[in-house]
Amino acid sequence: LLSLSVCDNGAHLPYGETGTGHYGANIVSIYDNYQILLRSEFFLDVAKTVPFPDRNSVYNIGDYGTADGAAAMKLLKKLIECLKEHHGPDVQFQVIHEDKVDNDFNSLFRRLGGLIPDPQSYLQDLENVYALASGTNFYKQCVPADSMHIILCIAGIHWLSGKPPVNKDFIYSFPGTEAVVRQRLEKLASEDWERFLIFRSRELKKGGLMIVAAPSDNANRSGGVQICSESFLQTLNSTWKEFRDKGRISKIEFINTNLACLQKSLDMLKSPFEDPNSKVVMSGLRLLSAELVTIPCGACDDWLRQKENKGVDDRAGYARRYVAANRCWSNSAFLTGLSESRSREEKEEIVNELYDQVEEGIRNMNPETLKNDKQFAYLYITKK
């Protein structure tokens, strides 16, 4: 759960001061979901197969669910360098960074322009490369039809396009969630996945390439979440339930802060490509490959190295860093889900109290038990 929300179940409010690169500074160091592609020769080899017969035209690359752009900077540089070497140094490239209209585009453009220096912008070293933004929900068409050569979407499609079904006792689809709720949630997620693919099919050129990476649950069911008893989400959920049960928030507020997302299984992600008569297949999309990859938790790895190399068991620092990273994507759901009868100050006080208690709880846990490696599905998709 590493991307800003793209759903329309209320305005997303980026957490942290806009224009500071807060999102990238906190979350990319914990889960770098682009590193797999950076190390993949297969990715670059497939990218070079995308047809580009007219060297005088513009090569278009999309970064969908871009947030503040931090995660994609190194990958985009490596990709464009590879394509320049393959197609010629004078080819013009256009990168379109997509996210919702309320995204922190201020940080994105400050990063692109070098005002936020880390990670370094791909624009700093590459010529004939231009960057634009599309402030459009990706459950709609974001760019002109038949215009994109490559589209990247890393850690975005787990967000739903609208409100989730009512989950009375859980903010997320945990194993204990009622079967009927999970079924409704999976139906919404499947419909959204199909919608996303159909719009991307319209945007891609024939022979174009799309790489999608998504946090993936692969228990013996098609949805939900595999999660240990001391995970961040479980701690967040149990703390929020305490707030409800003690009257700090209402039952309605608890429901209104249900997270509008679902980690899809690999089977669910592959399903639209397996029926030759599906809308996705009929649109021209084909699945080239799909694999599961484990992304290690950077915060836990750093804590362990510090403990082993320096003898320092800094659980407070670990908890602070871990919660800060996960607050980037989750804070808005709680802030916007609280009753409009509350003042902005009261809402912020409640949400700050929530994360303070979660951080205190995690500080008292063993990071090796809490360790939250993520399983991601990486899909390579082409348009025939």
SS3 category, 207: strand
pLDDT value at residue 34: 82
Q: Is residue 3 part of a domain?
A: no
pLDDT value at residue 355: 97
SS3 category, 372: coil
pLDDT value at residue 300: 86
pLDDT value at residue 233: 87
Q: What share of the chain is helix, strand, coil (3-state, %, to 5)?
A: 45, 15, 40
Q: Domain limits at 298?
A: 22-383
Residue with tokens 């022979």: 207
Q: Is residue 9 part of a domain?
A: no
For 99-249, strand residue ranges (E) read: 129-134, 148-154, 204-215
* This prediction's pTM: 0.92
For 173-235, strand residue ranges (E) read: 204-215
User: Each residue of 317-375: pLDDT tens digit?
Assistant: 999 998 999 999 999 999 999 999 999 999 999 999 999 999 999 999 888 877 667 78
Q: Could you give the number of structural domains in the chain?
A: 1
End-to-end CA distance of the chain: 31
Q: Is residue 260 part of a domain?
A: yes
CATH, residue 328: 3.40.50.150
Task: Encode the chain (384 residues) as per-residue pLDDT tens digits.
Answer: 334 434 444 456 778 899 999 999 988 877 777 888 988 889 999 999 999 999 999 999 999 999 999 999 999 999 999 999 999 999 999 999 999 999 999 999 999 999 999 999 999 999 999 999 999 999 999 999 999 999 999 999 999 999 999 999 999 988 788 999 999 999 999 999 999 999 999 999 999 999 999 988 765 334 444 443 347 888 999 999 999 999 999 999 999 999 999 999 999 999 999 999 999 999 999 999 999 988 888 888 899 999 999 999 999 999 999 899 999 999 999 999 999 999 999 999 999 999 999 999 999 988 887 766 778 999 999 999
pLDDT value at residue 2: 39
Q: Is residue 1 part of a domain?
A: no
DSSP letter assigned to residue 241: H
Q: Is residue 269 part of a domain?
A: yes
pLDDT value at residue 11: 55
Q: Is residue 7 part of a domain?
A: no
For 322-373, strand residue ranges (E) read: none
Q: Is residue 290 part of a domain?
A: yes
pLDDT value at residue 237: 95
CA distance 179 to 102: 34
Q: Is residue 298 part of a domain?
A: yes
CA distance 286 to 274: 9
